[in-house]
Amino acid sequence: MSDETTRKKVALSGVQPSGNLTIGNYLGALSNFGPFTDEFDCYYCVANLHSITVRQVPAELRRRTYEVLALYIACGLDPDKCTLFVQSHVHEHAELSWMLSCFTMFGELSRMTQFKDKSAKHADNINAGLFTYPVLMAADILLYQADVVPIGQDQKQHLELARNIADRFNGIYSPTFTVPEPYIPKVGANINSLADPTKKMSKSDTNENAVVRILDPRDVIIKKFKRAVTDSDNCISYNNGSDGVRNLMTIYSCFTHKSYDEIEREFDGRGYGDFKTAVGEACADGLADVQKKYGELMADKSYLESVMRAGAEKASHTASKTVAKVARKLGFVQI
């Protein structure tokens, strides 16, 4: 049997160590990563190169790099079953990003909605990295010949660009890159703000009542859900309820694994007060083990650094092969 028929498909994802991660990051990404390792050859990076498109406090960026790695493991990732690494420890990410930027059209990048959004938020720092960020994301993916990329709806445009770049390079130079496919979870892909449920929950939101963070204490989590925006109808229904009710039902479903029909029956005839308290308690219960494991890991920095070193070595081994192949096709002299 050939290697091609026996090899696992490759999956890649990354989380930026900027801001304190939310239940949106947990339900939309982190909680889904563990099961992937049984089916896929997984690479998960702490995407610190992406973080610096916005000014960071260096000490905070260092601390959050450890925190995200600890959260990866606390959320169920086993470093022996996947490749966990810090993006900046693998220089091939930046190297391939430059090469691919020469195969990315200015017009493609100018159409990226996240560039427009972030430019509006950070008008005093519209830097070139903010503009070319999607090329680095393409390099992250294509370096490892990823077949599948777990993403939220807001990243679909970036993945489509990565696919276009891969197709363009393959068409010019012969097959070089695997063209990746998106994987979007059916439930929990988009968790919205508790204060404005028409918008995605964002770790950079300045309204603390809008955001539930993975590491929030239990009483804080429950209080935030009690303050969540719903409406005045007391209608706990996914199809007929407000945006706020649908968002809470999604969160409750993710933590309890109950269907929307089951949730509607459970709260039939009961008010929003009971419902919001139940969602908060389910969320706090669901995060308790993660928080405990996270605390243990953060108390053992030497272990986290050993994971970083081993992950960087494994990631570099794969990434260097891709960069060497690309360099050869471009005509670079290699010594």
User: Do residues 326 and 319 make contact, with C-beta atoms less than 8 angstroms apart?
Assistant: no
Cβ contacts of residue 250 below 8 Å, gap of 6+? 187, 188, 190, 191
Decide: 188 and 28 in contact? Cβ < 8 Å: yes
Is 276 annotated as catalytic? no
SS3 (DSSP) at 11: strand
Residues 6+ apart with CB under 8 A from 141: 12, 149, 159, 162, 180
118 is catalytic: yes
Residue carrying structure tokens 């969160």: 251
Q: Which residues, listed in sequence order, are joined to residue 44 by a DSSP beta bridge?
A: 13, 84
Query: Residue 287 and residue 155: Cα distance in Å, rounded?
Result: 25
Q: Check 81, 186, 199, 203 and give the catalytic one.
A: 203
Q: Which residue is associated with the tokens 């908060």?
A: 280
Active site residue 321: no
* 96 φ, ψ (degrees, to nearest 5): -70, -30
Q: Which of 9, 200, 258, 321 is catalytic?
A: 200
- The C-alpha atoms of residue 32 and residue 29 are separated, in whole angstroms, by 5
Q: Hey, what are 217's tokens?
A: 């204490």
Catalytic site residue from 8, 81, 118, 224: 118
Please tell me the distance from the alpha carbon of residue 129 to that of residue 44, in angstroms, as a whole number. Answer: 22
The C-alpha atoms of residue 232 and residue 212 are separated, in whole angstroms, by 23
Q: Is 10 helix (H, G, I), strand (E, B) or coil?
A: strand
Pairing of strands 181-183, 10-15: unpaired
Residue 277 CB contacts under 8 Å (≥ 6 apart), including other chains: 222, 225, 226
* Full DSSP string of 149-195: EE--GGGHHHHHHHHHHHHHHHHHHSS-S---EEE--SSSS--B-SS
Strand partners, 287: none
Question: Which residues are known catalytic residues?
Answer: 118, 200, 203
